[in-house]
Structure 1
């Protein structure tokens, strides 16, 4: 049984009792996404904490992208709501890595793969080494950009 999922459920109950509509609405949405992930595929399964973090990461990314789209469209109130939801979801994610930390991990992976002179052909090899280390703690797009920068 996922302890993170239990924590989300307990926090939902607390936020409902406190009449915190933003938090309870966001937690309901996240728990719904987790349930959808559990029943997706050929066979229903219980998600581990790592799987739940993966769902939370994708939900947070959706909120960030939606906030950007709303800001570009001039809908600042909707953008603020999405940013607030992303902040609530971020409370349940592991500590995010700084750009310097990501750069250090990528540098170590390039050295480990011996990919320093190979250029972009080594992108998959390096990403394969980096992804397990940064999973749930850094945006995949930012990691890929750093790998491209160091290989290019």
Structure 2
């Protein structure tokens, strides 16, 4: 089932259950998906493109959450955190630290990387494997750390 179909079904359920917060998040996500379809001039998005839209929405809310916390706006931080929790329903299972490390180690072996200068090679392999399942900053930090250990 495509993401749009799933969102449409979830929207009906949220309306019947009168879950206003969930309904709002679904509408925002649906709008983002529709905008992406228009921007890419496609009738349907593939799974990677759908994940990219969801990831973008999650990232926006994470950034906003940090700004609200820094600005001591707990009311907005709480609302944004709730939106993040609701959006996480549409994200694939996230990789934990051990799984990320394992993927990075395999990519290092595949690429023949020998140190930090090979970060681009490793990230090229890793990013395709963890797309939508891990935060890019976390992955990049793990790659840097493991490559730095190799260089020692």
> Which interval holds the TM-score relative to the shorter structure?
over 0.9
- Counterparts of 1:1-150 in structure 2 under 5 Å? 3-41=2-40, 43-115=41-113, 117=114, 119-150=115-146
Equivalent-residue separation in structure 2 for 1:108 and 1:128 (angstroms): 13
Q: What is the TM-score of this pair, normalised by structure 2?
A: 0.92
Report the CA distance between 1:54 and its aligned residue: 1.4
Report the CA distance between 1:13 and its aligned residue: 1.4
Equivalent-residue separation in structure 2 for 1:88 and 1:110 (angstroms): 35
Report the CA distance between 1:45 and its aligned residue: 3.3
Report the CA distance between 1:111 and its aligned residue: 1.2
Report the CA distance between 1:11 and its aligned residue: 0.3
Q: String of CA shifts for 1:40-97, please: whole Å, max 9, x gaps.
A: 14x3431122211111111111111111110011001101111111111111111000
Q: Supply the RMSD in Å over aligned alpha carbons.
A: 1.2
More helix as a share of residues = 2
Q: What is the TM-score of this pair, normalised by structure 1?
A: 0.92
Preserved CA contact (<8 Å) 1:5 1:52: no
Preserved CA contact (<8 Å) 1:22 1:85: yes
Give 5+ residue unaligned stretches, structure 2.
none
SS in structure 2 of the partner of residue 40 of structure 1? helix
Aligned length: 148
User: Which structure 1 residue ranges, 4+ long, deviate > 4 Å from structure 2?
Assistant: none
SS in structure 1 of the partner of residue 11 of structure 2? helix
Give 5+ residue unaligned stretches, structure 1.
none
Match of 1:151 among 135, 147, 151: 147
